[in-house]
């Protein structure tokens, strides 16, 4: 397995947010972590990459226990993270943002260059000198993903990649994620949008109030509408 999470508990101060969360991601899989707003999706991602100090449990990446490593060491091992708020450098250009994320190529992992990312996101290729702060929300999302790819990760966590985007941009995002999968990347997306997840994902987990409520294939989720209605319906 590329990523194995077991018994993950996370706290913000005294507030217990995640309760024994467990999930697995295999090589080349696209897996969805589904749930309503506030269900614990972002906290799960932040805990995996070491951004939540109050946590316990085990996180293994490429067979190595990374549970106690600082975030920068986790990223250096090839685990990429695209946060929900994108965190681009608004006063840097597209090209400069990419250079900030650059890491050396990794053996057995697709190597990404700026030109390859412009092929993945043609919109960005037309605005290489544009400042991040002068871009639309969809363009910033593409920039954030591209900057993460410049680190040549073998697995990427994408937090709410379709949120707030126009339908046309959502389609482009789905195509890009499938292209990343074809390159051998493992991908985990957190989503509220079940339709988007169905376009790109092999399997899904559902989280509600910090607890895992479902694990199975997209087809299995489709076969249980009562699960979808209980945990995903608005």
User: Do 80 and 157 contact (CB within 8 A), yes or no?
Assistant: yes
CA 178, CA 144: separation in Å to the nearest integer? 17
Q: Are 102 and 95 in contact (CB under 8 A)?
A: no
| Predicted confidence band of residue 168 (pLDDT cuts 50, 70, 90) | confident
Cα dihedral: 227, 231, 233, 234 (round 10): 170
pLDDT digits (tens, 9 = 90+) for 46-86: 999 999 999 999 999 999 999 999 999 999 999 999 998 88
Sheet holding 54-61, edge to edge: 15-25, 3-12, 54-61, 64-65
Q: Report pLDDT digits (tens) over 191-234.
A: 998 989 999 999 999 999 999 999 999 999 999 999 999 999 76
Kindly state the DSSP code that residue 23 receives in the 8-state scheme.
E
pLDDT at 234: 64
Q: CA angle at residue 160 from 169 to 60, to 5 degrees?
A: 130
Residue 71, classified by CB atoms within 10 Å of its CB into exposed (0-12), middle (13-18) or buried (19+), is: middle
Of 214 and 108, which is predicted with more confidence? Answer: 214
Find all residues with CB under 8 Å of 62, minimum gap 6, and list them: 2, 77, 78, 154
- Most confident region among 2-11, 107-116, 166-175 by mean pLDDT: 2-11
Averaged confidence pLDDT in the chain: 94
Rounded Cα gap, residues 111 and 105, in angstroms: 6
Beta bridge partners of 150: none
Q: Which single residue is written with the structure tokens 């992992």?
A: 109
10 Å Cβ neighbour count for 194? 19
Q: Look up tokens 């943002």; give the residue.
A: 97
How big is the chain, counted in residues? 234
């Amino acid at each position: 397995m590329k990523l194995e999470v077991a018994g993950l508990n996370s706290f913000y101060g005294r507030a217990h947010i995640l309760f024994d969360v467990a999930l697995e991601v295999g090589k080349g899989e696209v897996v969805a972590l589904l749930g309503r707003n506030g269900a614990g999706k972002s906290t799960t991602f932040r805990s995996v990459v070491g951004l939540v100090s109050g946590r316990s449990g085990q996180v293994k990446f490429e067979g190595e226990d990374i549970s106690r490593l600082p975030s920068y060491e986790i990223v250096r091992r090839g685990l990429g993270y695209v946060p929900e708020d994108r965190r681009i450098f608004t006063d840097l250009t597209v090209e400069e943002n990419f250079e900030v994320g650059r890491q050396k190529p990794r053996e057995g992992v697709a190597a990404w260059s700026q030109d390859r990312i412009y092929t993945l996101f043609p919109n960005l290729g037309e605005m290489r000198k544009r400042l991040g702060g002068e871009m639309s929300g969809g363009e910033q999302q593409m920039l954030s993903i591209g900057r993460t790819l410049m680190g040549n990760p073998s697995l990427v966590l994408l937090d709410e990649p379709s949120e707030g985007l126009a339908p046309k941009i959502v389609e482009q995002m789905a195509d890009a994620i499938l292209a990343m999968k074809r390159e051998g990347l493992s991908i985990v997306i957190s989503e509220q949008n079940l339709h988007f997840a169905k376009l790109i994902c092999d399997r899904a987990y559902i989280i509600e109030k910090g607890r895992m409520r479902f694990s199975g294939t997209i087809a299995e989720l489709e076969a249980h509408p009562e699960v979808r209605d209980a945990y995903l319906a608005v």
